[in-house]
Amino acid sequence: MEKTVNQRAWFLVIPVLVLVAFSSVIPMMTVVNYSFQDSFGGNEFFWVGLEWYQELLRSERLWDAFGRQLLFSFIILAIEIPLGILVALSMPKKGWAASVCLVLMALPLLIPYNVVGTIWQVFGRADIGLLGRMLSDMGISYNYAQNAFDAWVTVIVMDVWHWTSLVALLAYAGLRSIPNAYYQAAKIDQASRWNVFRFIELPKMRGVLIIAILLRFMDSFMIYTEPFVLTGGGPGNATTFLSIDLVKMALGQFDLGPAAAFSLMYFLVILLISYVFYTVMITMDKDEAKQ
């Protein structure tokens, strides 16, 4: 479908532009401003140039948090994407069972982030939690508040619990759009289950899977509330991801300059990776249109 060129369409976009400028551009300019200045007593500001950036790039604290964040996002994608596809393939195709599955699966997505943290807190604690109690009864020592490995496992399982349904629902929507004729053709060709998945289902899910990967990458890369409630970034700094570190710096210690420089670099990294995704998406859309 060819779109017509019409510059007056700008008028329709202006409300969005004004609103987003107010809630994004103005705050962003403050951040840029702070990142080049140092303040004494919160009132006097001095130009310090790139000092904060240089200091941050040398600081181990930032690199450690960045490393943890990358590892976390990588593990999350590696678990949630395949698991989500598996769940989508296992879902009933129609009838009341499909509705029940959809509603139950969507439930974790609508629970406030901090309540998700609370749920896993009361689920995992050795004294009052079902999981913690069962594990300790089985003789497995498990304490997410003191053992770094246990904390990681709990945060990852919590995120899988929270967000795998999103991937599954997206993949399910992709599967539903495949015409039945494709399956019948595959049946005539006596294609194996794997080949049906590899050559029919996976290509048809490609578009929604890219959205799923993009959303899951972005959201896991800026995760804050759930680990904050569950572990508070601990034990030690074991689960201090980038956002937790940033909030500590900005609202806890009120280090405006370093926090602002941190913010900008953080944002740029997400932007860069997401831009790559977006470009790939657009190119694929165009390829599909040509076919």
Partner 1 sequence: MSAELPSSGKSWVRPANIVMMAYLLFLLVPIYWLVVMSFKTNSEILGSFTLFPANFTLENYQTILTDPSWYMGYVNSFIYVSLNTVISLLVALPAAYAFSRYRFFGDNHLFFWLLTNRMAPPAVFALPFFQLYSSVSLFDTHIAVALAHCLFNVPLAVWILEGFMRGVPREIDETAFIDGYGFTHFFTRIFIPMIGPGIGVTAFFCFMFSWVELLLSRTLTSVDAKPITAIMTRTVSASGLDWGVLAAAGVLTIIPGAIVIYFVRNYIAKGFALGRV
Question: Which residues in the 90-109 window bind partner 1 by CB under 8 A?
Answer: 90-93, 99, 101-109
Q: CA geometry: angle at 226 spanning 234 and 264, to 5°?
A: 85
DSSP 8: G
5 part of the interface to partner 1, by CB under 8 A: yes
CB of 95 to partner 1, least distance (A): 9
133 part of the interface to partner 1, by CB under 8 A: yes
130 part of the interface to partner 1, by CB under 8 A: yes
Nearer to partner 1, 84 or 238 (CB): 84
Q: Where are the alpha helices (DSSP H) in 91-129?
A: 96-106, 113-124
Distance separating the N- and C-terminal Cα atoms of the chain: 14
Task: Return the structure tokens found at 80.
Answer: 């949630």
Q: How many residues lie near partner 1 (CB under 8 A)?
A: 100
Interface of this chain with partner 1, residues 210 to 239, rule: CB under 8 A:
211, 218, 221-222, 224-225, 229
Q: Are 56 and 261 in contact (CB under 8 A)?
A: yes
CB of 199 to partner 1, least distance (A): 15
How far apart CA 185 and CA 189 sit, in angstroms, is: 6
Interface of this chain with partner 1, residues 141 to 160, rule: CB under 8 A:
none
Burial 108-125 (b: 16+ CB within 10 A, else e): beeeeeeebbebbbebbb
- State CA 97 to chain mean position distance: 29
Interface of this chain with partner 1, residues 13 to 72, rule: CB under 8 A:
13, 15-17, 19-20, 22-24, 26-28, 30-31
274 part of the interface to partner 1, by CB under 8 A: yes
10 part of the interface to partner 1, by CB under 8 A: yes
